[in-house]
DNA sequence: CGCGATTTGTGCGTGCGTTCACAAGCGCCT
DNA sequence: AGGCGCTTGTGAACGCACGCACAAATCGCG
């Protein structure tokens, strides 16, 4: 949750009827959000020489309840063996298939500033099924530069270049003031999935998914619990134990 | 959701009974997660000269349902005026108080690499109630360097320095292989709130909150929906059919 | 060949979160 | 002063998600 997800399906014209539902049962959103975590844990287990894994062990590695994990896997018609567990390689293939990671998706990164630069050089993209295929920025000092083997193009060329580059997902790392305009361009370029790092709400047409990552929000949520802890029993009360401020 | 949150309270010894519930009613987690978004929207409205705002308008600015917003605000004993709306400045103060943002919390950043460097220079911290007070890394080439007015210290000094610096929240931006060790150090230093950017599950004692941000997971969730869309609607999908953007 | 140990898959109860819909309250206009 | 329109606050219904607990299935061993 916490991210806006434009409805999929429904609206578009006539009922799409047979969409080979056999292949893709309606996975609960909560399950979808956990599958990547399972996938990561599975890769980790595979790298450490394991062959099969029990739901209990995998759940521990992924930090979830084992019953929840089993139910999640059952949703995608999982192939576990009772009394044994799950075959890791098979499960990896299954999850990657469901998540659509069998084809490496192209990512366009817009805004190559502080954060964007770090993202452009991030190795975790490639190992997890993605490939940065295009960089865009508005700053003329950045346009033309090469970062990690990719040349930075001017953002005005986004709509022109993105489709040809095979962009499937757009990542916005510009200041909030530019985010909506960039989102509009991405949509115009046919991108239907956007990851937004700018602290603002984006308006997009139906059928376009937006997920948002906001560092400050995460910190503020932590702050709330911190505040709560110090107000309550007060565990160790670290550092400058400045007490609560009454209203 | 999506993040592991170690239980607060409960476990520790005898039932903590009275924790002055008068000041802080038990806010639902979902509400807490949305308050920062409301806060951001409110600041934006205040900056554009607004004085009061209706739940409908604020909800639109925050990208949520208006009924949900009203219920959220009602949980913290809000001060709206029927027929008028909410006074923005009052609401900002109220939310900041609940989130514990009246005192600026110190943040320690561990791992000043690609991502950590971007975070260290991020202005959004300061404007949203936080202050980076310490940087740590294990790389001797980085230790001693000054970034944004802060000197990078060796991570071995974390337990020694963090408490004195008034660190309330620890941010982990190291490789996953080092994350658990860093988390242990943060806990040893008395930090009870951790934001983890490394793609791994952290084990921490009860009473310590961990929130996780994993870029690849976000992309994979988007990938799922992308996969789903292309499987359903067929070719029609990506058409440049730019539709009107709801404003 | 049968039995026990183990682990999956799931039916079910419970609690949380979301949403609708409406009564109560407030300001403003006449 | 009184009524009218607008907005809040919330009661209630609904749906989803979580986790327990157990039956079914499989393997290994005696
Ligand atoms: N730096 C961080 O650690 C961090 C953390 C969380 C969120 N964010 C958010 O991420 C965004 C980027 O942060 P940053 O620190 O990298 O800022 P930055 O100023 O360093 O980089 C922004 C980049 O976007 C480019 N840009 C501006 N307008 C543009 C446009 N219309 N089209 C294309 N590019 C444009 C700028 O030229 C610049 O290179 C901000 O919204 C910020 O709030 C940053
Ligand atoms: N770069 C990104 O855009 C990005 C995006 C998402 C997630 N991440 C994750 O964030 C983490 C950091 O990514 P990065 O690209 O900055 O990597 P990086 O290698 O550039 O930086 C890691 C830093 O951590 C330091 N370090 C290593 N071991 C340490 C230890 N024990 N104690 C303290 N510091 C230590 C290293 O010296 C280095 O400076 C990784 O886990 C990565 O998966 C990065």
How would DSSP label each residue in chain B?
Answer: --S--PPPSTTSSS------TTTS----HHHHHHHHHHHHHHHHHHHTT--EE-HHHHHHHHTS-HHHHHHHHHHTT--EETTTEEEHHHHHHHHHHHHT-SSPEEEEEE--SHHHHHHHT-THHHHTTEEEEEEEES-TTTTT-EETTEEEEEGGGHHHHHHHHTEEEEEE-S-HHHHHHHHHHHHHTT--EEEE-SSSPPP--TT-EEEE--HHHHHHHHHHHHHHHHHHTGGGTT---PPPPP-
**Nucleic strand C near CB of residue B1 (< 7 Å):** no
DSSP A5: B
Residue B159 lies in a domain: yes
B50: domain CATH number?
Answer: 1.10.10.10
Whether A14 shows a pLDDT value over 60: the answer reads: no
Residues A109 and A77 in one domain: no
| Domain co-membership, B109 together with B207 | yes
Asked if residue A1 is part of any domain, the answer here is: no
Closest CA to A73 of A57, A94, A52: A94
- Compute φ and ψ for B144, nearest 5 degrees: 100, -25
Whether residue B188 is found in the same domain as residue B233: no
User: End of a domain among B61, B77, B101?
Assistant: B101
Q: What mean pLDDT, rounded, does chain B reach?
A: 87
Q: Are residues A85 and A108 in the same domain?
A: no
Domain assignment present for residue B1? The answer is no
| Bases on strand D under 7 Å from any protein CB | 5-11, 16-21, 24-27
Q: How far apart are CA B62 and CA B65, in angstroms?
A: 9
- Give the number of A-B residue pairs with CB atoms closer than 8 Å: 282
In a domain, A202, yes or no: yes
A114 C-beta closer than 6 A to ligand 1: yes
Tell me, yes or no, whether A42 lies in a domain. yes
Mean pLDDT of chain A: 87
Confidence category of residue B242, pLDDT binned at 50, 70, 90? very low
Q: How far apart are CA B203 and CA A61, in angstroms?
A: 10
- Please give the tally of structural domains in chain B: 3
Query: pLDDT-based confidence at A78, cuts 50/70/90?
Result: confident
Provide the domain limits for residue B94.
6-101
Q: In sequence order, which ranges of A106-239 are alpha helices (DSSP H)?
A: 114-120, 158-165, 176-188, 215-231
pLDDT at residue B52 greater than cutoff 70: yes
List of chain A residues whose C-beta atoms are within 8 Å of the C-beta of residue B24? 228, 231
* Covered bases, chain C (protein CB within 7 Å): 5-11, 16-21, 24-27
User: Model's pTM, two decimal places?
Assistant: 0.90
**Is residue B127 domain-shared with residue B70, that is, in the same domain?**
no
pLDDT digits (tens, 9 = 90+) for A134-156: 999 999 999 999 999 999 999 99
Q: Are residues A35 and A84 in the same domain?
A: yes
Q: Do B119 and B188 reside in the same domain of the chain?
A: yes
Q: Is position B194 within any domain?
A: yes
Q: Is the pLDDT of residue A41 over 70?
A: yes
Query: In the predicted model, is pLDDT for residue A243 greater than 80?
Result: no
Is A80 in the same domain as A115?
Answer: no
Do B201 and B224 fall into the same domain?
no
Establish if B123 belongs to a structural domain.
Answer: yes
CB contact under 8 A, A192 and B229: yes
* Helices A66-75 and A55-62, packing angle to 10 deg: 100
Q: Are residues A117 and A193 in the same domain?
A: yes
Among the three residues A101, A121, A153, which one is the final residue of a domain in this structure? A101
Per-residue pLDDT tens over the stretch B84-107:
999 999 999 999 999 999 999 999
| Distance CA B10 to C1' D8 in A | 35
Confidence of residue A233 (pLDDT cuts 50, 70, 90): low
Closest CA to A188 of A216, A167, A174, A173: A167
Both B126 and B157 in a single domain? yes
For residues A71 and A92, membership in a common domain is answered with yes
Residue A102: both structure tokens together: 């069998």
Q: A12-21, long-range: CB within 8 Å, 24+ apart, which pairs?
A: A12/A207, A12/B233, A12/B236, A16/B232, A16/B233, A19/B231, A19/B232, A20/B231
CA dist A138 and A154 (Å) reads 6
Domain finish residue from A60, A75, A101: A101
B227 pLDDT above the threshold of 70: yes
Whichever domain contains B187, its CATH number is: 3.40.50.720
Contacts 24+ apart (CB under 8 A), B158-161: B158/B108, B158/B110, B158/B182, B158/B185, B158/B186, B158/B189, B159/B185, B159/B188, B159/B189, B161/B134
The answer to whether residue A166 sits within a structural domain is yes
Distances, alpha carbon A28 to alpha carbons A48, B7, B33, B80, in Å: 31, 25, 21, 36
Residues A173-209: pLDDT tens digits? Answer: 999 999 999 999 999 999 999 999 999 999 999 999 9
Please tell me which residue lies nearest to nucleotide D28, judged from CA to C1': A83
A203, two tokens: 């308006």
Contacts of B239 in chain A (CB under 8 A): 190
Q: Which residues pair with B193 in a beta bridge?
A: B209
- Please give the span between the terminal C-alpha atoms of chain B, in angstroms, as a whole number: 29
């Amino acid at each position: 949750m916490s991210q806006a997800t434009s409805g999929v399906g429904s609206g578009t014209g006539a009922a799409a009827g047979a969409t080979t539902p056999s292949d893709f049962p309606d996975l609960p959103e909560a399950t979808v959000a956990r599958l990547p975590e399972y996938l990561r844990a599975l890769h980790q287990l595979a790298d450490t020489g394991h062959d099969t894994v029990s739901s209990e062990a995998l759940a521990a590695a992924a930090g979830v309840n084992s019953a929840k994990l089993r139910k999640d896997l059952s949703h995608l018609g999982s192939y576990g063996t009772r009394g044994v567990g799950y075959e890791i390689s098979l499960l990896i293939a299954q999850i990657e298939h469901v998540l659509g990671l069998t084809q490496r998706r192209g990512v366009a990164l817009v805004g190559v500033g502080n954060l964007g630069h770090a993202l452009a050089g991030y190795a975790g993209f490639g190992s997890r099924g993605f490939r940065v295929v295009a960089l865009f920025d508005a700053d003329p000092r950045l346009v033309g530069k090469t970062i990690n083997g990719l040349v930075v193009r001017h953002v005005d060329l986004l709509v022109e270049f993105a489709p040809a580059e095979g962009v499937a997902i757009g990542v916005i790392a510009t200041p909030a003031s530019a985010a909506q305009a960039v989102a509009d361009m991405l949509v115009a370029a046919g991108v239907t999935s956007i990851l937004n790092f700018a602290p603002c709400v984006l308006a997009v047409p139906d059928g376009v998914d937006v997920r948002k990552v906001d560092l400050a929000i995460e910190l503020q949520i932590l702050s709330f619990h911190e505040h709560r802890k110090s107000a309550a029993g007060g565990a160790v009360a670290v550092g400058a134990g400045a007490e609560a401020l009454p209203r």
